[in-house]
């Protein structure tokens, strides 16, 4: 039955998501140079370098406590010259969206810490792709595309996003990072809904069958 298959599929998704969240919670601590050479997974790192003071990418449609805002993504230049994009947290957007929030940034050398995570990719995207330019900053984007950002910055970017620790003073609000938006318990709730629909369908089918049988017996009497 379709409802049963959908229910078991959601249970499989719950298991996969739980494994992802477990990896997130138990991310190993390692040098950032080692983390950048990985192909998957999460890692906790410390990195020394400096922020790009002017050029920030503002990732749109981020909700915090019912308010619409952005995640601030700032290039961080490591001492070896590599550039990592750092998610520094959430800032509010004005209602008219005609002005972007100021992003206060100290370009002095510093040590930062955070969690390395592959940026989310794929999924259906509405509207035309964002067009980034190299001479106007900060810039607002709906979706994060590393190639577009790298082209606008005119520097190669490491294919990772460093999510800044919540206690780092160079960040902003909303740094309660998670492995994914949808938690395992949500898939479990969806599975329960599908199994409930399956049970309801069986009950209805049995009830209708009993009624038809009763009607047939009554017509024969």
**Backbone CA torsion sign across 52, 104, 87, 147:** negative
Rounded Cα gap, residues 130 and 136, in angstroms: 14
For residue 173, the cross-strand partners are 90
Phi, psi (rounded to 5 degrees) for 216: -65, -40
Residue 167's pLDDT is: 92
161 token code pair: 């996003």
86 token code pair: 């750092």
Residue 91's pLDDT is: 96
For residue 161, the cross-strand partners are 85, 117
105 contact partners, CB below 8 Å, separation of at least 6? 51, 52, 53, 54, 56, 74, 170
Residue 94's pLDDT is: 84
Residue 126's CB: how many other CB atoms inside 10 A? 6
Q: Over its length of 221 residues, how does the chain's per-residue pLDDT go in tens digits?
A: 677 687 678 777 777 777 767 777 888 899 999 999 888 888 999 999 999 999 999 999 999 999 999 999 999 999 999 999 999 999 999 877 778 989 999 999 999 999 999 887 654 455 555 788 888 899 999 989 999 999 999 999 999 999 999 999 999 999 998 877 677 777 777 767 877 777 777 788 777 767 776 666 666 66
Neighbour-count burial of 53, counting CB atoms closer than 10 A to its CB (0-12 exposed, 13-18 middle, 19+ buried): middle
Residue 153's pLDDT is: 94
């Amino acid at each position: 039955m379709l409802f049963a298959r959908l229910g078991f599929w959601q249970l499989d998704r719950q298991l996969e998501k739980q494994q992802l969240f477990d990896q997130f919670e138990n991310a190993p601590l390692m040098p950032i140079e080692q983390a950048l050479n990985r192909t998957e997974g999460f890692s906790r790192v410390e990195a020394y370098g400096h922020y790009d003071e002017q050029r920030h990418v503002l990732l749109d449609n981020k909700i915090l406590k019912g308010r619409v805002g952005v995640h601030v993504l700032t290039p961080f230049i490591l001492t070896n010259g590599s550039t990592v994009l750092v998610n520094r947290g959430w800032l509010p957007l004005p209602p008219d969206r005609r002005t972007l929030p100021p992003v206060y940034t100290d370009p002095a050398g510093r040590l930062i810490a955070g969690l390395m995570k592959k940026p989310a990719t794929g999924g259906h995207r509405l509207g035309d792709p964002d067009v980034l330019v190299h001479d106007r900053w900060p810039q607002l984007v709906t979706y994060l595309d590393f190639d577009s950002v790298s082209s606008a910055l005119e520097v190669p970017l490491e294919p990772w996003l460093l999510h800044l620790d919540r206690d780092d003073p160079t960040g902003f609000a909303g740094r309660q990072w998670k492995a994914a938006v949808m938690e395992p318990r949500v898939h479990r709730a969806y599975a329960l809904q599908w199994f409930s629909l399956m049970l309801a369908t069986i009950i209805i089918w049995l009830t209708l069958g009993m009624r038809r049988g009763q009607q047939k017996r009554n017509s024969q009497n």
